[in-house]
Structure 1
């Protein structure tokens, strides 16, 4: 992933990864509130100022890997093909993520992903921050639907159903991960559950928010 970029940029990527790895190790060993930024810096062999050059806060050391996924659902809806409904686009994106064992949908049992999940569940401040990510994803999806011409209140209703279905599936994946099941075992069932969940959703929406070939606006 670092091929084709300069040495300076590669070093920055390596430093960022080292900070995330050391922070996660310390957090999972001792708890989020018991670890200071100075201790993370020492473990990563950098200065405290360097940590803040890469991350705005200690919480960002937990959530940085998730930041890039906030817009996943909105992007899937914006980029969907003509004739594809919003629900179908969200279903497709979710299933692709399951297939790739993406931690963002709760189907990775790597030590890092599992450690972060346990840490968030055990730390009230981090649970609050996780909810904020949910709200941002919802807002971005709502904006994507409004951009297609839907009135805001209806866009929020549709977005709530799409995000709610996806989050229910992810919550079940998390539950099973924390119970000690493997990602492969969870993924097999996640595909079947997603099929049932999105089938119900699409029946309720009735093909709503299907992109027309000639226009990005909603189908009636």
Structure 2
């Protein structure tokens, strides 16, 4: 369905507010900048900011929903004959090879992470996002495999795939805070992904294979 004018304007306004807020947070720190400061810089009311971002933390972590649904989306989009783990590994390799900013492979990552590490509220919100992503992946795997209620396997597999994703993101983050070139980190991250895949057992690698039909 095509995006209407009203929806497009709302999306653009939300992105503009978030971009302005991010610039302020990077310059002054998360704690020092108030929602009123963001509203003034964006030339909107404080209520408008809260309409788009109910909590201040989401002004900086504005792609939280995309992160929450990332692994679940990979699983839902797996190819015929492909397992959940194979789909996740394929998509993560694609992001790494493409030096995607979505997994932290961009020059300003160190500055971005400093804002988070300096603010307890952002660290807490990031943890919540990670937990929401794990819960959604567990639910997605249960739905995709039509697992019985109480079956522990969706949760166990989700934990393993979340470990792969979380370990990759943490490693990339550590390397990027050293001000390394994104392309360099990308090459090393591919090796790390191969090593993590070698650690996954057959039950994980062959879980939730999509029917060829």
Normalized against structure 2, the TM-score is what?
0.87
Distance in 1, matches of 2:50 and 2:194, equals 43
Counterpart for residue 173 of structure 1: 172
Distance in 2, matches of 1:149 and 1:10, equals 37
The answer as to whether partners of 1:73 and 1:93 remain within 8 angstroms in 2 is no
Counterpart for residue 60 of structure 2: 62
Counterpart for residue 19 of structure 2: 21
| Mapping 1:44-123, distance limit 5 Å | 44-109=42-107, 111=108, 113-123=109-119
Unaligned runs of 5+ in 2: none
Distance 1:5 1:139, change over 3 A: closer
The structure, 1 or 2, with the larger RCO (C-alpha pairs under 8 Å, 6+ apart) is: 2
1:114-142 CA-partner distances (Å, limit 9, x unpaired): 44322112212211111111111111111
Counterpart for residue 139 of structure 2: 143
The answer as to whether partners of 1:87 and 1:162 remain within 8 angstroms in 2 is yes
CA RMSD of aligned residues (A): 2.2
Distance 1:191 1:206, change over 3 A: closer
Question: Structure 1 runs of 4+ off > 4 angstroms?
Answer: 4-10
Aligned length: 209
Bigger shift: residues 8-17 or 139-148: 8-17
Counterpart for residue 183 of structure 1: 182
Distance in 2, matches of 1:209 and 1:195, equals 21
